[in-house]
Chain A
């Protein structure tokens, strides 16, 4: 249907004696496919939809494009089949050009496959899996905000290069994801001259972490690395605080978000190290944007929501620049661009679809250091883009020629 409108626009453009480039789309449609009701709705959800709409409004106000932009959204309920069904329906029936956000790895991978099949674009902000830019990569998918590698390596690398972060004990969720997180981090710790004193593997999902935490305590390690996710992470943080393990030993969260800190409170999380792609209180630009977001949503943005704004804006810029919503041309324009906004400085999208930008290592403040609501982090160090993400020569993405 859309190709028909494009065709009509082209014909009309030519008939009016316009230039050969007058094939700009009349309407660009963006589908935000996210978790609106489940576990991750705080992290992305309605906030991601709101951030997308902010980006569209800002783009229209600033760039005055010749085309209209529409945003639709749906709840994928963290089920891959619902995500695949919705994405397919959007592409086939509703003329959606871009599906974005996509919170869990199974939904993101499913939507990315459908996008490839239908030759449309998928921009992933919510999901963490590195499979998106490795084995399962394709030329229509962009993984924008973060991934497990950047979080695990960022945290492990930055913490273990400090004098009080040399000895580690891992608390690992006992399945492929946890093992990968642990292996990635442990390699960096050892490379930085640190030592891994031991590992406890807990069943997934777990609820009682006492035995594992006491082992970690007995090991005397300076850092306890949490190679798990979601409720496993929040439960282990809570229980570590109850056992008095923290703040004597520090926790390093390998997959923790500001919403987790907000939910657990500073008392339980103080002193913890974690990596994020964005924090609202980094500089004037981030504060200005986050304040606007806060006014709309009554909470501070997560990195996923900030990335959602940034990636949507970049996508629309690319459509304007390419003068078409043709997938290959828009992807080429996005990959050619250098991204400079409040979210990323000198960000680049690589051929494997990975957007590389600086990441930040934070330490969670003590309750007495926090001056205001959402004042949670101290910046420990900035991890430069070239170190933050998996190097291209290690990628198993078939698009990367070696």
Chain B
């Protein structure tokens, strides 16, 4: 089925037109956001949105449910924080270092995990991510439960002063936007089509002569690298890296964001991340102890009413066209 939509030219064109509107809306929202909302809060939204989109690349388009993505997000935050704080690297190299370390980690974890499918895949990623968490707890440079604190934001390319909150905001937004474009491009490339084919019917993809393992691993590494980029951006934004970023709760949270927004849709994870981060932050001083209860109930309601996630359901309602992937990725 995925193969037929791929070859239908008008379907591709329609997707492009819709996506164009979506990207334009995002640009407007991102550009004007700081006029209405607090920039630091928005930066957090963009970091998590990129993280969720990277995760969605794997779950939504590759059909692989990883339960260990916090390892890439948190691990990269520590690496980026360390090279910037202790070794005095400029922020752009810090971001790259975080991203590269996450890609490397993704290669190791991915190579082991893709040998199994379904729940076993999820458990292997969880187990390996827990090992990374213990490393973050035990290694000296991470500061244990104190976390890595006081990371300087520095100057991007030696000229752009990131200590200015608004400048930092637009840099983070640019990182998010470029990351999202990269994901969009990947999904709509032949590579992405093969990935979807593997998701739909793996034996058939093998019989067509594709090296399935290679495609899965590439998607895994790419997802890990972009998660790492999100983690590094977050480390620079908040000037810290803490254990919470590498904890399995974070792996769960990103699943939640993706499912809530709409798995297998380009913009779903952005909405999902926005909703979760807003609830966490805005409820913090309003409802006190009820934050977790409210987020939990919200999730239950969404799962019951919008099975395809907010964007998935909206897309189905507007266009009648099935969103880019079925919600069954989370098997």
Q: Could you tell me which A residues sit within 8 Å of B by CB distance?
A: 36-37, 41, 45-46, 72-82, 84-86, 88-89, 92-93, 104-106, 109-110, 113, 129, 131, 136, 174-177, 204
Contacts and interface: CB of A to CB of B under 8 A. Distances in A.
Given A81-B44, A82-B280, A131-B146, A110 B288 contact: no
B146 A73 contact: no
Contact-size category for B: 20 to 34
A96 to B, nearest CB: 11
28 contacts: A37-B288, A37-B291, A41-B289, A46-B289, A72-B285, A73-B288, A75-B285, A75-B288, A76-B284, A80-B149, A81-B238, A81-B245, A82-B281, A82-B284, A84-B238, A84-B240, A85-B40, A88-B40, A93-B38, A106-B145, A106-B240, A106-B243, A109-B240, A129-B146, A136-B149, A174-B138, A176-B145, A177-B144
SS class, residues of chain B in contact with chain A: helix
B150 interface: yes
A131 B144 CA distance: 12
A207 B317 CA distance: 49
Contacts of B149: 80, 106, 109-110, 113, 136
Given A37-B292, A176-B140, A86 B145 contact: no
A382 B206 CA distance: 75
Given A85-B44, A89-B41, A175 B144 contact: yes
Interface of B: 38, 40-41, 44, 137-138, 140, 143-147, 149-150, 165, 234, 238-240, 242-245, 280-281, 283-285, 288-292
Contact of B244 (A41, A74, A78): A78
Given A79-B244, A109-B240, 13 more contacts: A36-B288, A46-B289, A77-B280, A81-B245, A82-B280, A85-B44, A105-B145, A106-B145, A106-B242, A131-B146, A136-B146, A175-B137, A177-B144
Given A109-B149, A136-B149, A86 B44 contact: no
A230 to B, nearest CB: 10
Main secondary structure of the interface of A (DSSP, over half): helix
Contact of A46 (B44, B288, B292): B288
A86 B146 contact: no
Contacts of B137: 175, 204
Contact of A81 (B146, B234, B292): B234
A80 B38 CA distance: 18
B40 A113 contact: no
A113 B149 CA distance: 8
A175 B145 contact: yes
Nearest to B293: A37
A41 B290 CA distance: 12
Given A84-B239, A85-B41, A89-B38, A77 B147 contact: no
